[in-house]
Structure 1
């Protein structure tokens, strides 16, 4: 897809950068839809009106992947391109064909080109999403009488591993302290890294303090603008999943590190480019930091603190887990933490609360009234 530059005429409450990002995703969706059979139009309309943009794109990618599989790996169609697949082809597909696609092909497949062979292996969660994409597709085709059978009842179940509290990766309190000390001092960095650290230390500290205080998702932090913050009211605005607009209170620490970054670390931008001009966190090239750059930053500093290889450092999502666990250990209720972190289900938050039970166990274990 060729990159197109959009002009934004924005009368909504959303910042221009979010409107721009959403339009980029919409363009990707439209491009994929143009490659799919025309009889799927009702499915496209459903996705457009009923699911989040990111989910719409993921579902369409899964369906396109399935259609390419039909052409390249099966005898279920004689079509030469994905858009040429017919209703009759889909009517001939059985639940057994879908189970073979998800359970056999998608679990591990090969991507070949002239120079390399890449083995692609998917986990249960990815397979579950592909199953969900196809389930919704076939249900809608059956509901609208495009196909004659509802084959979704025959799809094999996919058992997802139950999350275990002990498997949650997060930083301990002393590691958090060491992390913030490292950003302030640059002590464990080599000479080359210190050159960059001198230019970015205020920015990096603000990023980590926000992650560790609020448990922000990386996308939420990436979207932050200068205009997101109202220091007079002591609050800032974030946009969460499904476009939810949320006001977050600023504590003194966060206000201090952000103001110091804006005053001492953030470069001035003369450009009229609306995408970057209002961005809070900028790269050394004076562009909005990418999500990939933020992830790399997180892995770099956490790996140094834990004495690990850079590739084994912690992602921003593990900083989110660190924030959740730390808040619960400080005595905040799981419902308050659920609200702060925007968990859909309190059982997610309860996973982090399990660590608090370990603390109780240690207290009781070392507090005996009777001698042995």
Structure 2
């Protein structure tokens, strides 16, 4: 089993180019299944049938795993068995017929415009770090790109002439995402002045756009810390993580009339179902529609 897991690990890294976190979840789920097989005295993957798969599912439910967790583990095992089936190690995938539990899809958290304005006003634009933070905030909100995509951006990825950023996303899939005037002004201000001052501290050449206080590339963890400090300066009581800005981008775009296919393309979603979670409406949007539509909403 361990040799098959190692082969699957290499497949995820090399062929699928899966992220570190995705691989970590897959391997954890497979190790749990491996322990289950040991307890059941099953030593050959070919001996795992649908009955064994359902027994494992029952074990997960008895362990009080959430429906979301159970669904992820079964999906991991389906993918693993598709791999070993492709390698002619097994003839059938015992997890194909195992139905996934229906999971609740909570409405993604997002920021209202008033909260965003307080964040945009929290940075000191007279300092290199303040200019960087403003550019980072404007870009994340303007494009909805993932924090990992933002962290690896290079100077050559920004085209100011047409206002687009060239993004390399999951699975090395590439796309162009437009940005507006506020993001462009913040980026130009940072790159022309603040970034040069930060880069001088490291005495190293770098094409990475966002740098830390030492002049070296800002990490994903560093970007999260930057946002945390921004929230403190804005005296907000909410938690703002990079993905919340991505949620906010998608929510505001759809609420203002953008079509879902366009938003899907900008977010880099492979499936439209991933974009559909943003079709909820905000209280402000509901009120605007009501006030403009109901005959007795206003005089």
Task: Tell me which interval the TM-score lies in, with the shorter structure as reference length.
Answer: 0.7 to 0.9
Q: Which residue of 1 aligns with 2:137?
A: 208
- The change in CA–CA distance for 1:223 and 1:39 in structure 2 (over 3 A counts) is closer
What TM-score results when the alignment is normalised by the length of structure 1?
0.64
Q: What CA distance in whole angstroms lies between the structure 2 residues aligned with 1:199 and 1:370?
A: 48
Q: Which residue of 2 aligns with 1:9?
A: none
Q: Which of 271, 291, 294 pairs up with 2:204?
A: 271
Pairing 1:170–2:103 present: no
Q: CA RMSD in A?
A: 3.7
Q: What CA distance in whole angstroms lies between the structure 2 residues aligned with 1:307 and 1:129?
A: 34
**TM-superposed deviation, 1:70:** 4.2
Q: Give 3-state SS (helix, strand or coil) of 1:51's partner.
A: coil
**TM-superposed deviation, 1:212:** 1.0
Q: What CA distance in whole angstroms lies between the structure 1 residues aligned with 2:60 and 2:123?
A: 45
Q: Which of 103, 107, 112 pairs up with 1:160?
A: 103
Q: What CA distance in whole angstroms lies between the structure 1 residues aligned with 2:271 and 2:29?
A: 26
Q: Give 3-state SS (helix, strand or coil) of 1:296's partner.
A: helix
Number of residue pairs matched? 291
**TM-superposed deviation, 1:245:** 1.8
**TM-superposed deviation, 1:294:** 1.4
Which residues in structure 2 correspond to 1:341-352 (within 5 Å)?
341-352=267-278
Q: Which residue of 2 aligns with 1:301?
A: 230
- The change in CA–CA distance for 1:271 and 1:318 in structure 2 (over 3 A counts) is same
Structure 1: gaps of 5 or more residues? 1-34, 78-87, 109-120, 186-196
Q: Which moved more, 1:147-156 or 1:319-328?
A: 147-156
Q: Which residue of 1 aligns with 2:182?
A: 253
Pairing 1:62–2:29 present: yes
**TM-superposed deviation, 1:241:** 2.0
Q: What CA distance in whole angstroms lies between the structure 2 residues aligned with 1:323 and 1:89?
A: 48
Structure index of larger Rg: 1
Q: What CA distance in whole angstroms lies between the structure 2 residues aligned with 1:104 and 1:300?
A: 43
Which residues in structure 2 correspond to 1:103-122 (within 5 Å)?
103-105=58-60
**TM-superposed deviation, 1:306:** 6.8
Q: Which of 41, 44, 57 pairs up with 1:89?
A: 44
